[in-house]
Amino acid sequence: MRKIQLILGIVLAAGAVIAVLFVGQLTQPTVYDVVIAIQEIPAYTRITPDMVGLDSQSVSPAVAQKYVLAAEWEALQAEGVVAADHLRPGQPIMRELVASGAEAEGLSRLAVALDDPDLVILSVPVDQDEIPATVPGDVVGLFFSAGQIRANSLVTYTTRTVGSGRPGATGGYTRTFYASQDDEARVVTDTTELELPLAKWIANGVVYRINRERRENPNYGAPGMDAEPRYIEGQIKGLDVVVHRDLAELVAFSLAHGKVRVAVLPVVARGYVEAGAFPPAPGLTWTDFEALFFQERAEVEGR
């Protein structure tokens, strides 16, 4: 009897071990061959086979869908793959971090701007709440504004003096001419003050990259969160914009001495922008605004 009980116990124990192993295999995440970067890959770089490797990782199917897997990598390579963001050694390549096909051509075409001596890439700080939805490749216009209205009244005026002396103007446009050909000592000086505030369309360009703030991921290293990245992206803090070299100083000056806003232009403007043939704008001063204000006011009152 004891022998039968011993044999039955061994059979039950073996069955329990087999059941545990079977259940463990059912609950264990599937192993996937994930494509990873094996070297630093800057953003907008075409990814070649020697830049990546494979790493077997046990992840859930939901997580695996976010990664580029070995089974699809060959097809992506055939279309051409470009990094849409900076990739670091050992980092699994997620689908959202690369572009292929026509999308890759757009990114790589912008990247060649770095090799063109007539183009410059400038970083333009922005407030995410003040810019329209923007993606790399968008054509944008840059607007400079300066001055704030802090008075109860504003005056636009032109001063005129007669004689050889010059008025003590602090800024603006000054034009001096002779009152007559017979009296060269007698001159007339017109000085037009430039009334603030003002706004000016200063440049056009193409968005090269969107810069976002990086924050520590609170889920990084937490139990059961092995696939969580260490850093997560926050709000947009700046745009890298490709502009023509002859406009770079104007943009830099505007960034240092006023406020620069970004507007997205229609795609049909791309050819003009890339050729540097987009027509200039006259700008707007307080004088212009005042004239427009009273002109339209008179039109409305005269209806």
Beta strands (DSSP E) in 165-258 are: 173-178, 187-192, 198-216, 231-244
Rounded distance between C-alpha atoms, residue 179 and residue 246, angstroms: 39
DSSP 21-73: HHHHHHHSPPEEEEEEESS-B-TTPBPPGGGEEEEEEE--HHHHTTBPBHHHH
3-state DSSP: the chain helix, strand, coil percent, rounded to 5?
35, 35, 35
- Tokens describing residue 262: 């970004």
At 60 the pLDDT is 78
- Tokens describing residue 73: 């990598």
Rounded distance between C-alpha atoms, residue 283 and residue 20, angstroms: 77
Hey, what CATH topology would domain 30-112 get? Answer: Type Iii Antifreeze Protein Isoform Hplc 12 (3.90.1210)
At 150 the pLDDT is 65
Q: Tell me: the pLDDT tens digits for 81-127? A: 888 777 888 888 888 888 877 666 656 555 555 667 888 889 999 99
At 255 the pLDDT is 92
At 256 the pLDDT is 92
Domain ranges of the chain: 30-112, 118-148+198-301, 158-187
Rounded distance between C-alpha atoms, residue 188 and residue 259, angstroms: 37
Q: Are 258 and 200 in contact (CB under 8 A)?
A: no
Q: Are 142 and 262 in contact (CB under 8 A)?
A: yes
Low-confidence ranges of the chain (pLDDT < 70): 1-29, 102-115, 149-189, 226-227
- Tokens describing residue 138: 């968008």
At 251 the pLDDT is 93
Q: What is the pTM of this model?
A: 0.53
At 194 the pLDDT is 74
